């Protein structure tokens, strides 16, 4: 009797598991969690790479540092002995596999290898020794799930960004940096900032003239593809436990006229219905600054913002930000959700229209002298509420201010038209 009962219990439990798995297709049975082995065949390399055990559906790691083989350099790891298919370490492992090292004899070339750190694979580059040649920034940029490409570095701790303008005089393995999703890497360069013309043409005030035009060089940076949204700003508020009056560290985070897209519901901050993907407006300068610091970055300098708006090194010299037809580039008449208009040459959205975007710089006239990475002028180190800061990008109330060089200033308390775009150095 006892044995019969136990048999019944076992059958019933098994049936319950089958039924549970049938109702939960995303749940894997124990037998489906397989330990797979990735073997690395160094093809005569000077050292042996240990095999990796990888859970089915997860990714293998590219061996680091790269193995060596005499005076040859490692081109990469390939899935076949003939070494025709480069393995992408961003691809989940689904079966036992052997990867084969491919070697290139140094000879008269320098090799620049690209370690995408789990992102999609990037082909190496060869530079003839003594030619004074430089490597070329690989495009399109590598991709990685839930992350944005943040540049190539000579070290895995990302302290030294690689300069693609400098002549290559040795072999390199470069490492991809990854940052939060929704960002765009911008290669630095030199451009003409401002314009020599009557300020009235660009709706710019006399205290922030667009002239004189002058040469500016900026370093590489990473900037938001979109303006910061209400959902993102509310996440910041709730993480920092900002009280219902919107005051953080003694500073108002927004201009409160009831028209902002976020509100305090008595318990926490929430986005007003249907406005999650709309840009966060009414931001004060200090509110924009606090958000950027919380998000791991900072406010753009005016020079960085203008360079990005022009399209960086990909600029086509358009009259407006991203094109010649304002209505294709930005919203006018009201604020709209992000990313519905034509992006500019760098695939950045809503730099024309929608909202003015805060920059770091204090409101002051330009110098005619060439500059490198100007971060200012900051005329007022201890900013008080009455002083203004530069805003860029026009606003939904006019098509006249969406030229890349147009600039204006707003008091740091903000107004109904002020938002922000995150920059990560």
200-220 confidence digits (pLDDT tens): 545 455 557 888 999 999 999
For residue 296, CA distances in Å to 180, 222, 230, 362, 423 come to: 9, 11, 18, 22, 9
What's the average model confidence in pLDDT over 226-240? 98
22 torsion bin: left (phi>0), alpha (psi -120 to 50), beta (else): alpha
d(CA 13, CA 7): 10
Token digits of residue 204: 């710019």
User: Is pLDDT above 90 for 194?
Assistant: yes
pLDDT for 387: 66
Those residues whose C-beta lies under 8 Å from the C-beta of residue 327, and which sit 6 or more positions away, are 399
pLDDT for 65: 84
What's the average model confidence in pLDDT over 104-113? 85
What's the average model confidence in pLDDT over 84-105? 91
Q: Which run of H or of E encompasses 230?
A: helix 230-239
Token digits of residue 17: 């598991």
d(CA 207, CA 80): 66
pLDDT for 21: 40
pLDDT for 27: 45
pLDDT for 12: 41
For residue 89, CA distances in Å to 28, 99, 143, 226, 263 come to: 24, 11, 11, 29, 44
pLDDT for 148: 98
pLDDT for 207: 57
User: Is pLDDT above 70 for 378?
Assistant: no
pLDDT for 32: 63
d(CA 200, CA 402): 14
d(CA 335, CA 274): 13
Work out the percent of the chain whose per-residue pLDDT is above 90. Answer: 72
pLDDT for 218: 97
Nearest CA to 311 among 343, 338, 342? 343
Those residues whose C-beta lies under 8 Å from the C-beta of residue 80, and which sit 6 or more positions away, are 100
With bands split at pLDDT 50, 70 and 90, how would you rate the model's confidence at 199?
A: low
Query: Of 100-114, 132-146, 206-220, 385-399, where does the model show the most confidence?
Result: 132-146
User: Is pLDDT above 80 for 227?
Assistant: yes
pTM (2 d.p.): 0.79
User: Is pLDDT above 50 for 419?
Assistant: yes
Q: Which is higher by pLDDT, 380 or 173?
A: 173
Give 123-188 as a DSSP string.
--EEEETTS-------SSPP--TT-EEEEEESSTT--SB--TTSPP-S-EEEEEEEE-SSEEEE--
CB atoms within 10 A of CB 100: 19
d(CA 95, CA 57): 9
User: Is pLDDT above 70 for 358?
Assistant: yes
Give the chain's mean pLDDT: 87
Instruction: Determine the angle formed by the axes of helices 230-239 and 285-294, rounding to 10 degrees.
Output: 80
The span from the first CA to the last CA of the chain, in angstroms, equals 74
Sign of the Cα pseudo-torsion (296, 301, 302, 306, in order): negative
Which of 118-122, 200-204, 414-418 shows the lowest per-residue confidence on average (mean pLDDT)?
A: 200-204
Q: Which is higher by pLDDT, 377 or 357?
A: 357
Which of 42-56, 136-150, 337-351, 389-403 shows the lowest per-residue confidence on average (mean pLDDT)?
A: 389-403
What's the average model confidence in pLDDT over 382-401? 73
What's the average model confidence in pLDDT over 140-168? 96
pLDDT for 22: 40
**Largest Cα–Cα distance of the chain, in whole Å?**
101
pLDDT for 396: 83
Q: Which is higher by pLDDT, 205 or 137?
A: 137
pLDDT for 6: 34
pLDDT tens, position by position, 251-299? 999 999 999 999 999 999 999 999 999 999 999 999 999 999 999 999 9
């Amino acid at each position: 009797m006892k044995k019969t009962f136990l048999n019944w219990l076992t059958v019933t439990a098994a049936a319950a598991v089958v039924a549970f798995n049938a109702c939960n297709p995303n749940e894997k049975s124990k037998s489906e969690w397989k330990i797979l082995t990735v073997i690395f065949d160094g093809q005569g390399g000077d050292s042996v790479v240990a095999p990796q055990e990888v859970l089915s559906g997860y990714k293998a790691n590219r061996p680091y540092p790269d193995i060596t083989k005499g005076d040859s350099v490692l081109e990469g790891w390939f899935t076949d002995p003939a070494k025709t298919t480069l393995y992408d370490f961003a691809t989940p492992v689904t079966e036992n596999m052997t990867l084969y090292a491919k070697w290139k004899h140094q000879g008269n070339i320098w090799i620049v290898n690209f370690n995408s750190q789990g992102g999609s694979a990037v082909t190496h580059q060869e530079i003839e020794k003594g030619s004074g040649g430089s490597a070329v920034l690989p495009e399109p940029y590598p991709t990685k799930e839930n992350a944005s490409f943040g540049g190539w570095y000579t070290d895995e701790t990302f302290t030294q960004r690689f300069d693609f303008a400098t002549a290559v005089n040795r072999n390199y393995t470069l490492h991809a940096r990854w940052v939060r999703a929704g960002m765009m890497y911008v290669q630095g360069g030199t451009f003409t900032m401002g314009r020599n013309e009557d300020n009235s043409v660009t709706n710019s005030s006399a205290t922030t003239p667009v002239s004189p035009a002058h040469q500016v060089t900026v370093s590489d940076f990473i900037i938001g593809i979109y303006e910061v949204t209400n959902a993102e700003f509310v996440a910041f508020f709730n993480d920092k436990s900002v009280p219902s009056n919107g005051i953080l560290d003694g500073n108002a985070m927004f201009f409160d006229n009831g028209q902002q897209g976020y509100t305090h519901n008595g318990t926490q901050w929430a986005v007003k219905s249907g406005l999650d993907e709309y840009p966060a407006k009414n931001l004060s300068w200090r509110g924009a600054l606090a958000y950027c610091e919380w998000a791991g970055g900072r406010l753009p300098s005016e020079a960085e913002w203008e360079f990005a708006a022009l399209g960086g090194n990909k600029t086509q010299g358009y009259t407006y930000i991203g094109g010649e037809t304002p209505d294709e580039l930005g919203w006018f008449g009201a604020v709209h959700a992000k990313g519905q208009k034509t992006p500019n040459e760098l695939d950045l959205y809503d730099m024309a229209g929608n909202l003015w975007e805060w920059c770091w710089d204090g409101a002051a006239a330009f110098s005619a002298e060439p500059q490198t990475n100007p971060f200012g002028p900051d005329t007022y180190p201890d900013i008080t509420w009455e002083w203004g800061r530069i805003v860029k990008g026009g606003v939904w109330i006019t098509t006249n201010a969406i030229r890349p060089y147009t600039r204006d200033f707003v008091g740091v308390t903000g107004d109904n038209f002020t938002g922000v775009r995150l920059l990560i150095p």
